Amino acid sequence: MSFEIETDEQPRLLKILTLNRIAIAEESMSWTDSICFAGESLIRAGSIIEKYLDVIMSLTVFKQLVAFSGSRAVTSGQSNA
């Protein structure tokens, strides 16, 4: 995997978003399945590793839990109330 990035300009989206990095689903799916589905083509293209998908899903779930709990982090059964 290599990108040619000019120092005085950001890479253009169409240079990075190539056909081997695009996945189109023919059916609806959960958000976790959607991330995995889209991530598979990025893994095959060498753009990301599988661990990246795991981290993205873990961070998203954690943010949802914090938002749901009223912005109070809860760890090991103890609350910060």
Q: What is residue 19's DSSP assignment?
A: G
Range of the domain at 75: 13-79
Residue bearing the bigger pLDDT, 51 or 22: 51
Q: What residue ranges in 2-76 does DSSP mark as E strands?
A: 74-75
24-33 pLDDT tens trace: 888 999 888 8
68 located within any domain: yes
Residue 25 lies in a domain: yes
Provide the pLDDT confidence category of residue 79 given band limits of 50, 70 and 90.
Answer: very low
Helix (H), strand (E) at residue 79: strand 78-79
Q: What is the pLDDT of residue 22?
A: 79
Q: 40-43: long-range contacts at Cβ-Cβ below 8 A with a sequence spacing of 24 or more?
A: none
d(CA 57, CA 15): 27
Judge whether 8 lies within some domain. no
pTM listed for this prediction: 0.52
Domain count, the chain: 1
Long-range contacts of 68-77 (CB under 8 A, 24+ apart): none
